[in-house]
Structure 1
Amino acid sequence: MPTPAKPFSYACCKMRKAGIKMQIVFMNRLSRISGLTEEVFAQLWIGEEEGVWRLGWRDFAEAGEGEDCLWYEGGSWNEMLCVYRHELAVKMGEGYRPLIDGVFHEEEGLTGRNQEQLRLQYYSEQYANEAVYEELSAWRRGKASSERKAPYILASNRLLRLLSTFLPQSTEELLQIPGIGEAKAAQYGPDWLAITAAAPREHDFPLKWVREATDEDAFSSWLYKQKEIKYKKQLERLRLNRMLLQGIEGGLGLEQLKEQTGIGRRELLEAVEELEKDGYSVEKLIELELVTMEREQQEAVWNAYAELGDLFLKPVFHKVYGENFSASEGLDFYYERLRLIRIRFRREQADKLGVAGNF
């Protein structure tokens, strides 16, 4: 298990005065303009000593002296990398730019198409027609209720912002909005166009004019803010996974894990499922949670998965318990058991495929 790291709010310290010695494995120099003309400098560094990683930032004063701020200290390279990316995105959002490019160490960069889609998203966050956005949101609430679907499945907030900013007036224009394909346009396009085409607009399609209308410095800062949000989520997920693995190994059940992590049982189960997909064993938790479930009932659920597949829970629930089943514990209790057994079922199916693939 990785060495526990310091909390997300990292304390600053004077590394040289503390007498810490380590091998520097990476360093980059950054600068930004302060005020009208003054350029200020900083260094970003990664060091290692006896399996302990340290990550820090050094701002240089006018006299050339610098003070190190320790961002991370611990034994996990992956966690250190998440902290590195998040904190660097914060600094670049503040205007710092690196001497060496590729500082985020990502496998894939933005393509031209992705860049333009993000530009449209940025513009829509600045200039959306709020009245149209509210009308589209009201449409989504009503449609989600009538179709018994989650609102985000119909249209994300991002998509509603785009629609309320660029105000398409035809299906051809609608299809130029990122996130809208032929199927979506056919299904909901008439409803959207009834709202957007009725509003006056200042610009036409195609949307190539957005590039010239965008302030490049502001757009760059916004891009780094998106990275900051993305990397913070990755870091939070990594730390949640570590907490779950430690808790499961320590014999904690779902309710205890809920109290420890502060998240709901449904989200916990989703995280546990992801851990299993990533190759970690969660069998200890499954055994603990299913200890009071009769073996015959577990076998009935297993057989239902074998017959109906494991993609959807409701058909399996109806197969095992009947369509009119109700219980004082609530149905969530039974669905949790279905999900735990599904983890086992999927693991066995994957093992079978792995064995077959070896022949």
Structure 2
Amino acid sequence: MQIVFMNRLSRMSGVDQEVFAQLWIGEEEGLWRLGWRDFSGEQEMGDSLWYEGGSWSEMLCVYRHELAMKMGDGYRPLIDGVFHEDEHLSSRGQEQLKLQYYSEQHGNETVYEELCSWRRGKASSERKAPYILASNRLLRMISAFLPHTAEELLQIPGVGEGKASQYGADWLSITSGVQREHQYPLGWVSDSIDEESFVSWLYKQKELKYKKQLERLRLRRVLLQGIEGGQGMEQLKGLSGVSRREVLEAVEELEKDGYSVEKLIALELSEVTSQELNNIWTAYELIGDTFLKPVLYKAYGEDFSPAEGLDMYYERLRLIRIRFRREQPAALGLATNL
């Protein structure tokens, strides 16, 4: 096996003891291996094999995820740039991350739960997904920094003029009466946190990010193999361990990235009548494919309310939408040439 990359890392263990490790990537006849080697003094303690396979992309995802875990535990590399991506943060980006870090350590749980309760009620009344109104991260920061005025609220990352005008009054009604010990502006935050703890937290965020990337990559591989093998949505759900909705979202991504998912679409729509297919297609032509609800009622009627629920029909609409979108570039190109 040929070693194509190696880096040395170290961390402090105990009061004054430094421990070392090596991270390596090897290749042999198209097979990639990725491993970690611990040292005790000058003595090798053996390798941990993190990855062995033929996919460079998957190996790189495993590399980043496992390395982020090690760096979150305090290891630091001899050679920088170990994630093989742009890791530069602007001073503003660094400041915002420190505010997020502080909020996770010092959030007011009572206020946070009250903000979450507000979000659930508002999402229900406005018929929106809760995350569209406000992310958990934003609610955490509001609960930690407890703004008392609109001007203070606008100093929190993620709160722009639009959000403030829509929901600022609601948030301030929860936070303005809560006693706080800090002041605005929030420039004091940077000096109040431990830098090494903050850096370790940053690597934990990378760990979560790379874990999601790795899960997404592996899901795509399972789905592509399943679709090629003639599996339907329910079988793909079982193979992947995710919900039908998540399977369908991943299938839509595969189509966007140029992979063929027609075999799955044909299988799932095999028992749908030609009249129903035509009605849905016509609805897309008349209304567009951005929103599914108006297409549903255009295709099936305004009073459509099947006893089995609408999930199956929305799934059907999304599968047909993949076909519809696939044909649009060709149709636009033809119109341009004419």
Distance 1:352 1:253 in 2: 29
TM-score (structure 2 length as normaliser):
0.96
Q: Which runs of 5+ in 1 are unaligned?
A: 1-21
Question: Pick from 39, 43, 51: which aligns with 1:60?
Answer: 39
Structure 1 residue 358 displacement after superposition: 9.2
Matched AA of 1:262: G
Matches within 5 A, 1:247-326: 247-326=226-305
Q: Does 2:103 correspond to 1:124?
A: yes
Q: Which residue is 1:208 aligned to? A: 187
| Distance verdict in 2 for CA 1:214–1:355, change over 3 Å | farther
| Distance verdict in 2 for CA 1:228–1:353, change over 3 Å | farther
Distance 1:229 1:357 in 2: 45
Matched AA of 1:155: A
Measured on the aligned residues, the alpha-carbon RMSD in Å equals: 1.6
Q: Does 2:115 correspond to 1:136?
A: yes
Distance 1:70 1:164 in 2: 43
Matched AA of 1:138: S
Structure 1 residue 169 displacement after superposition: 1.3
Q: Does 2:150 correspond to 1:171?
A: yes
Distance 2:259 2:87 in 1: 26
Q: Does 2:17 correspond to 1:38?
A: yes
Structure 1 residue 41 displacement after superposition: 1.0
Q: Which residue is 2:129 aligned to? A: 150
Does the residue aligned with 2:7 lie in a helix, a strand or coil? strand
Does the residue aligned with 2:4 lie in a helix, a strand or coil? strand
Q: Which residue is 1:196 aligned to? A: 175
Matched AA of 1:189: G
Structure 1 residue 65 displacement after superposition: 2.5
Distance 2:312 2:282 in 1: 20
1:88-129 Cα shifts (integer Å, max 9, x gaps): 001001111001101001145322222111111110011011
TM-score (structure 1 length as normaliser):
0.91
| Distance verdict in 2 for CA 1:174–1:309, change over 3 Å | same
Does the residue aligned with 1:314 lie in a helix, a strand or coil? helix
Structure 1 residue 302 displacement after superposition: 1.3
Moved more, 257-266 or 334-343: 257-266
Query: Do the aligned partners of 2:108 and 2:144 also contact (CA within 8 Å) in 1?
Result: yes
Distance 1:103 1:110 in 2: 15
Distance 1:203 1:188 in 2: 23
Query: Sequence identity of aligned pairs in percent?
Result: 73
Q: Which residue is 2:223 aligned to? A: 244
Does the residue aligned with 1:48 lie in a helix, a strand or coil? strand
Query: Do the aligned partners of 2:37 and 2:44 also contact (CA within 8 Å) in 1?
Result: no
Matched AA of 1:144: A
Moved more, 100-109 or 239-248: 100-109
Matched AA of 1:132: V
Structure 1 residue 355 displacement after superposition: 6.8
Does the residue aligned with 1:65 lie in a helix, a strand or coil? strand
Q: Which runs of 5+ in 2 are unaligned?
A: none
Q: Which residue is 2:212 aligned to? A: 233
Q: Which residue is 2:93 aligned to? A: 114
1:57-88 Cα shifts (integer Å, max 9, x gaps): 11112243341111000000000000000000
| Distance verdict in 2 for CA 1:352–1:127, change over 3 Å | same
| Distance verdict in 2 for CA 1:198–1:79, change over 3 Å | same
Structure 1 residue 271 displacement after superposition: 0.8
Aligned length: 338
Matched AA of 2:80: D
